[in-house]
Amino acid sequence: MNSRPMARSDAKVVVALVFALGTLGCVVVPQNRREYLADPTMQLQDDPLEARSNRKLWTAREGAAGGDAKPAGGGCGCSN
Amino acid sequence: MAGSERRRPRATASATKGPTIEDLFLRFTLFNQRGRGFQSKAGPPAGPGSENMLVFQPMGQLGIRQRNPKWTHQVTFALDVISAASPDGLDAVSSASRYNEAGELDVTTTYASETRGEWSMRYGLHFEEPFRSGFAGLGWVGRYFEDNTTVAVNTTYILDLFDYIHPLGFSPVQVEKRLTISDNVGVTQVLSPTTLLSASYGVTFQAGTLQTTWNSVAISDAPTTGCPNDFGQAPEYDCPNRAPERLPRTRTRHAAALMLNQHIPRTRSTIKLAYRFYDDDFDLRAHTPGVMLYQWLGRRTYLRAMYRYHWQRGVSFYGVATRTDASDEMPLTADSDLAPFSAHQVGLKAVVYLVPPGSVRGAQYLDGGYSRYQRSNDLHVDVVSLGYGRDF
């Protein structure tokens, strides 16, 4: 309920994100070398409906939703 | 096939064909929840009460490409059939606490521009007693460095309308409103022919009635004469020793996530490491690491094992009881979802391809899995899921 200055753990997250963003464009893997990236096990989500179902499980039982490019609350009557 | 969010629309398909179905996903999931929470009235007067619940959840998703191949639609429908949906409520005016159905329609329409990325509009509706919700949003995806870098941005507005139901069961004709605005940005980067990194950040602002109006908090110094020790769900249960939950009128939430995917060609294995950080102005902070291991067994089958850990510091105004002299202005909740706790989830899933990936006929698979979600504050969920997916 209060506005706190950024804590040390917040700063670590920001540094990690900046590092991740800093890698952009450093490596260019040509199309013909992406066979393994196309493997079904390498996709960001295995199955869209399974991801949706998991999100509902966690959103309805944890006060800390979000971070997966989906809204962190609202849209259901499940205490979120 | 799987991970269709990452797949680039096939904008080069023939423009002379009519609308075509691109992919189909079907899933049936069963959630069996057992536990107790202090917001629930289904128990002793001072709590904790039952949070037992059984949910049957059939879902489907269809991908459709229009005659103009730059336009695609992803249509998702989901149904939740819930028994003992809200034992916290035990309301007398609706059946929502004992048996409920929730339905949702979620559509994403995407236009793939040749030069300016993919633009999408997401819209849909959600219904459940006593709750109605509508949502709409815009998104954009850009690809750079020969598709090695993908940047995605989206914003979503959600308007929830729900009937006020007091913990004692009465419901004046009063519609509560809650508005949610969520903005997200994500980046996916190919790091090597076998390594993928993704990072995302989202901020969500909520305003309106944020509490679940039938959630309640025990009043420790109130008389409990006549309050039955009822673990069942008697609708006449109207013990006056409970106060309604009160939450602030606004909430701002931040979440950031990282995921690293590494494929190991020699063993045909994949490992995914994930971490999420969450913080909001209710003073709730959370750390959620996880790992998933995949192992191919032949050309058509793979197994997946997963582990997820969640730790959260509860909201600053969480408590299992209040007193009669407590201020009506102070926020207050006994909701076990907002309490400090940790949770472990372990799961195993098998995926069997009827038509293997890479086939000209389009991949087709069946999967089945089980997971166990165990919270440290007396709640666990057994999840059984069966799925089917097909590319056309």
Extract the tokens encoding B146.
Answer: 């020969």
pLDDT tens digits for range B305-324: 999 999 999 999 999 888 88
DSSP element (H, E) containing A17: helix A8-22
Residue B65's nearest CA partner among B78, B57, B74 is B74
| B304 Cβ under 8 Å from any chain A Cβ | yes
User: Strand pairing partners for B23?
Assistant: B63, B391
Q: Residue B280's closest CA among A12, A62, A15, A60?
A: A62
How far apart CA B81 and CA B251 sit, in angstroms, is: 29
Residues B99-129: tens digit of each pLDDT = 778 899 999 999 999 888 999 999 999 998 7
> How many domains, in total, are found in chain B?
1
pLDDT digits (tens, 9 = 90+) for B349-371: 999 999 999 888 899 999 999 99
Chain A (21-50) residues lying within 8 Å, Cβ to Cβ, of chain B = 21, 23-25, 27-31, 33-50
User: Has residue B380 got a pLDDT over 70?
Assistant: yes
- B13 versus B336: which is more confidently predicted? B336
Classify residue B168: in a domain, yes or no: yes
Give domain status of residue B357, yes or no. Answer: yes
Write the DSSP assignment of B328-348 as a string of letters: TTS-BB--GGGSSEEEEEEEE
Q: pLDDT band at residue B173, thresholds of 50, 70 and 90?
A: confident
- Among A14-23, A69-78, B7-16, B162-171, the range with the most confident prediction by mean pLDDT is B162-171
Q: Pick the residue of B194, B217, B299 with the most A CBs within 10 A to test the interface with A by mutation.
A: B194
pLDDT computed for residue B3 by the predictor: 43
- The Cα-based distances of B15 to B18, B65, B70, B93 in angstroms read 8, 10, 9, 55
Question: What domain range is B367 assigned to?
Answer: 20-391
Half-sphere exposure at residue B117, Cβ-oriented, CA atoms within 13 angstroms? 13
Contact yes or no for B381 and A61 at CB 8 A: yes
B90 found inside a domain = yes
Say if B5 falls within a structural domain. Answer: no
For B220-242, how does the pLDDT look when each residue is reduced to its tens digit (9 = 90+)? Answer: 888 766 666 554 545 445 667 88
Which of A6, A18, A49, A52 best probes binding to B when mutated, by most B CB atoms within 10 angstroms?
A49
| H helix or E strand, kind and range, residue A15 | helix A8-22
Question: Cα–Cα distance between A78 and A58 in angstroms, integer?
Answer: 11
Residue B7 lies in a domain: no
Closest-CA distance, B225 to chain A, in angstroms, reads 30
CATH of the domain at B161: 2.40.160
pTM of the model: 0.87
- Rounded to an integer, the average pLDDT of B138-144 is 96
Look up the ipTM and state it. Answer: 0.87
Does residue B13 fall inside a structural domain?
A: no
CB A67 to CB B255 under 8 A? Answer: yes
Asked if residue B3 belongs to a domain, the reply is no
* Residue B151 contacts residue B187 (beta carbons within 8 Å): yes
Nearest to A31 among B57, B146, B379 (CB): B146
Does the beta carbon of B316 lie under 8 angstroms from any beta carbon of chain A? yes
Q: Which residue from A minimizes the CA distance to B302?
A: A41
Does residue B215 lie in a domain region? yes
